[in-house]
Each structure stands twice: as structure tokens, then as C-alpha cells.
Amino acid sequence: MPIQHVFSFYKLYKLSKKYSDDYYTEVGGDILYKAGFRKHYINYASFNREILDLPTPAFSLGFNIIYPFGAVFVNEEFKKLKKNWLKYIIAHETAHIILNHYPLNILLSEGIASLPPNIRVLIELYRFTSASLNLYKEITSPLEGITAEKELDADEWAVKVIGMKKPAIEFLTWLKEKGLKISHYSPYTGLPALSIDERIMRIKKIRLR
């Protein structure tokens, strides 16, 4: 792992221990137990703007090698939400760790950074044209696709482990009603990768046993 990633990982991991949250820890522990993980090293922490000034309400980092290891951060404001919504949010963030999305992100960003300059120019050009022509819907590069797939996989894992679709659908619908349309942007191209509607649609198709 390149040194700057090790450094930010270590800093955030330490922070997650400092701001460890009893309630989030209990919910996360239950989810992991249900998913078959009898032992884990994931810290569940709550944060606010003073602790971490980030535009995202929840995020996670870590990996699943032998045991799940990492940190899940959920904004303290989320405690006001319905208990089942919170369960889904925590399960979704846990899923990113279980499914090893974080090391995949690092590999990808390192991979893109190491591309020959002419290819990077192409990515920039693509970004510029599709942004200026507003072609998000028509043109998507594999880079947006990767972001979307990771999120949809995390949703599926979460919904299956908690055994309910309703909290996910209700929470995402609530976000939509608050005016949020785009769920995720590609960190590589900055273009919209996944809409809230697409997430709801895919969750509805999941088959629960």
C-alpha cells in the first residue's frame, strides 16, 4: 500500500477508536455476527463536523483478510433516524469492508495515477466533453461503472444480511424527497456514477430467502 494511504488509514483508524460509539458498535457487531463473522476488528465511530468535516454522512475503510478489519464512521445525527434505517446504513458501510472495496479503490487510484500521460489526457477529455454536453446518461466510462457496482453490491449485501428491503427503500426515498438525486460520483472522473433511483430499483429486485 503506498505510503500516503497507509498514513491516512492509520490516522482514521486511530480516530475511530477515539470516537468509538457504543450504539453503532452494538448494531455493527450484530450485523457481522449475522453474516457469520464471529470475530472482527472493525471500530464503529460517530462523528460530527468538528471531528471530521466531510460532505458524506457515513463512510468506511478497511479490508477483510482473515478477519474484517477497519473503521465505520456514521454521523451522530443519524441516531435520530429510524432504528432500521440506521441498521441498513451501518450494514452498507460494513459491506464495503467485507467486500474489500477499500483496497480495490486504492489499487484503482494508483493504477490511474500510473497511467501514461496520454491516457490520462483522454480521461480528462472524456470528463470535459461529457460534462459540458451533459451526456451523463448516454456516455459512461468503466470508471463510473466500477463505483456504481461497488455501491449496488454493498446494498445487496446489507439488505440480505438484515433480511429486509424496506429500511433501505424507505431511507433512500427519504433522501430523494430531500432533493438528492445522485447517490455517488466517480472519484476518478467526478461524473455521476449512480442515482438514488437506480439504487431503489436494484434493491427492489433483490430476492430474499
CA distance 16 to 19: 5
As a whole number of angstroms, the distance between CA 178 and CA 171 comes to 11
- Residue number, 152 or 191, with CB nearest to Zn ion: 152
Residues in 32-61 that interact with Zn ion by CB under 5 A: none
At 152, list the grid cell.
449496488
The phi and psi torsions of 115 (rounded to 5 degrees) equal: -65, 150
Smallest separation (angstroms) from Zn ion to the CB of 50? 24
Of 156, 51, 147, 49, give the one whose Cα is nearest residue 105. 147
Q: What are phi and psi of 118, to 5 degrees?
A: -65, -30
Considering the complex, what minimum distance in angstroms separates the CB of residue 89 from Zn ion?
9
Report the nearest approach of Zn ion to the CB of residue 120 (Å): 26
Segment 145 to 164, residues that bind Zn ion, using CB under 5 A: 151, 154
Sign of CA dihedral 47, 50, 56, 57: positive
How many residues touch Zn ion (CB under 5 A)? 2
- Going residue by residue from 93 to 132, which x/- string records binding to Zn ion, judged by CB under 5 A? ----------------------------------------
Q: Provide, rounded to whole angstroms, the least separation between the CB of residue 84 and Zn ion.
A: 18
For Zn ion, give the closer residue by CB, 120 or 181: 181
Residues within the interface to Zn ion (CB under 5 A): 151, 154
